[in-house]
Amino acid sequence: MQNAVATYEVPYPTVSEAVSDILKIKEERLEFKTSHKVHGSVLIPLFASFDSADYVRENQKVVLAASVGYYSELNYESLHVSARIGRRDETVERLSKSGLPKAAVRALGGAVCRSEWRSNVETPANSIRHTTFYLLYEDLQDFPLLADELHLRAVSVLTPKSEIERLMTERTGRREQDYLLKIEKRLFDAKGVEFEEGVFKLLCRMGFDVAWENRNPPFDILAASPNGCLVVECTWDTPSVAMARELIDQAQSCRSTENPLVLPVLATNRTSWSDLDKDLLNMELRGEVYFMTRDRLMQALEKLEVESASRTATYLGLFKW
What distance in Å separates the CA atoms of residue 131 and residue 155, rounded to the nearest whole number? 9
* Greatest C-alpha distance within the chain: 80
Give the orientation angle of helix 193-206 with respect to helix 180-189, to 10 degrees.
140
pLDDT at position 45, please? 72
Q: What is the DSSP letter of 61?
A: E
Please state, rounded to an integer, the average pLDDT across all residues of the chain.
Answer: 87
Q: What are phi and psi of 96, to 5 degrees?
A: -60, 150
- Supply φ then ψ for residue 209, to 5 degrees: -85, 115
pLDDT digits (tens, 9 = 90+) for 262-290: 999 999 999 999 999 999 999 999 999 99
Type of residue at 297:
L
174 burial via Cβ count (<10 Å: 0-12, 13-18, 19+): exposed
| Whether pLDDT at 321 is above 60 | no
Report how far residue 310's alpha carbon sits from residue 154's, in angstroms, rounded to the nearest whole number.
10
User: Which residues fall within 8 angstroms of residue 110, CB to CB, at 6 or more apart?
Assistant: 72
Locate all alpha helices (DSSP H) within 207-240, ordered by sequence: none
Is pLDDT at 204 greater than 70 in this prediction? Answer: yes
Phi and psi, residue 250, nearest 5°? -65, -40
Amino acid, single-letter form, for residue 191: K
CB 60 within 8 A of CB 107: no
106 burial (CB, 10 Å; 0-12 / 13-18 / 19+) is exposed
Q: What is d(CA 244, CA 242) in angstroms, rounded to the nearest whole number? A: 5
> Is 54 a residue whose pLDDT tops 90?
yes
Q: Given the DSSP bridges, would you call strands 290-292 and 79-87 parallel, antiparallel or unpaired?
A: unpaired
State the Cα–Cα distance between residues 265 and 244, nearest whole angstrom.
Answer: 8
Please write the tens of the pLDDT for every residue from 65-122.
999 998 888 888 889 999 999 998 889 999 999 999 876 677 766 788 889 999 999 9
Count CA atoms closer than 13 A to 120's CA, side-chain side: 5
CA distance 168 to 59: 22
Domains in the chain (CATH in brackets) are 2-25+43-152 (2.60.40), 161-317 (3.40.91)
The 10s digit of each residue's pLDDT in 237-267 is 889 999 999 999 999 999 999 999 999 999 9
Q: Give alpha helix (H) positions in 190-319.
A: 193-206, 241-254, 278-285, 294-316
Question: What distance in Å separates the CA atoms of residue 101 and residue 117, rounded to the nearest whole number?
Answer: 7
Q: How many CB atoms lie within 10 A of CB 150?
A: 18
Backbone angles phi, psi at 82, to 5 degrees: -135, 170
pTM: 0.66
